[in-house]
Structure 1
Amino acid sequence: MRTLIFRTVAPYLSSLMLLFSIFVLLRGHNEPGGGFIGGLIAASALAIYGIAYGVSPVRRAIRFHPMALSGFGLFIAAIAGVLSIFAGVPFMTGLWVYPVIFGEVVALSTPLLFDIGVYFVVFGSLASTALALEERERD
């Protein structure tokens, strides 16, 4: 399905979906959303772009192998759990810090770090699967 209209709309739709996936990721534990659904939306955005333009432009756009992103996400999620051990509390206990950034107090937490890790794991694994299927389909 490489129509002119689809190829024209795909970059805008993909970038809007990536922006929305970050919004869903960041509103995570306080409201519905989080890393899993954000990763699904981001992988869907890359799949749409891949259908419109092919696999090689998508691989150039993400710059890293998708499974490497998935491994990075698993590392980040594990770090979120290990930080609680260093604080002397049980594994995966939520910890918060409140740094001042640009004059505003920002709440940063290990649950947010865990959600970012889940986002990368889901995004990387689904993007890798989608790209492999699209490469096979084009042959």
Structure 2
Amino acid sequence: MNSIIFRVGSTVVLPFALLLSLYLLWRGHNEPGGGFIGGLIAAAGYACYALPRGHAALRKVLPIDSLQLLAFGLSAALISGIAGLMGNAAYLTHAWTEVAGIALGTTLLFDIGVYLTVLGAILTFLSLFLEQ
């Protein structure tokens, strides 16, 4: 995969993929989108960047280990359900509040957890693939 076109194109694709994934993550707790598709798009951007460059480039551009991303994601998704238990409701009954006219809730925390879990799982697989 030593194509100059792929190498240059992936430099442009990565930032746009990350921005699109964050947009879909943010919009997903109220409209279609969310953590799963956002995590897939972010992972695709990292994959496009790393495939022509190798494992060292993926480590350089990724600020945190992929297994840690996976662990943070699972933790965030699990923690998001505690608000329901504290309010004498079922686990994962989401709580909502409004801050400066913006509706925020534990669904966003759950979506962030799914986003990080999907991103961490795919990047772990990609990292293992690139090491060989």
Please tell me the TM-score bracket, short chain as reference. Answer: over 0.9
- Measured in 2, the distance between the counterparts of 1:63 and 1:29 equals 26
Per-residue deviation at 1:83? Answer: 1.8
Which contiguous aligned blocks of 4+ residues in structure 1 show a shift greater than 6 angstroms? none
State the partner residue of 1:118. 114
- Measured in 2, the distance between the counterparts of 1:96 and 1:118 equals 19
Per-residue deviation at 1:60? Answer: 1.8
- Measured in 1, the distance between the counterparts of 2:91 and 2:27 equals 23
Number of aligned pairs? 132
Please report the TM-score for the alignment, with normalisation by the length of structure 2. Answer: 0.94
Per-residue deviation at 1:89? Answer: 2.0
State the partner residue of 1:134. 130
Please report the TM-score for the alignment, with normalisation by the length of structure 1. Answer: 0.89
Deviation digits for residues 108-134 of structure 1 (CA, Å, limit 9, x no counterpart): 111111011000000001111011112
In structure 2, the gaps of 5 or more residues are none
State the partner residue of 1:73. 73
- Measured in 1, the distance between the counterparts of 2:84 and 2:60 equals 37
Per-residue deviation at 1:85? Answer: 1.2
Contact in 2 for aligned 1:47/1:131 (Cα 8 Å): no
Deviation digits for residues 62-108 of structure 1 (CA, Å, limit 9, x no counterpart): 121101100001100111001221222221111111112xxxx1111
Contact in 1 for aligned 2:83/2:94 (Cα 8 Å): no
| AA matched with 1:66 | S
Identity %: 39
State the partner residue of 1:86. 86
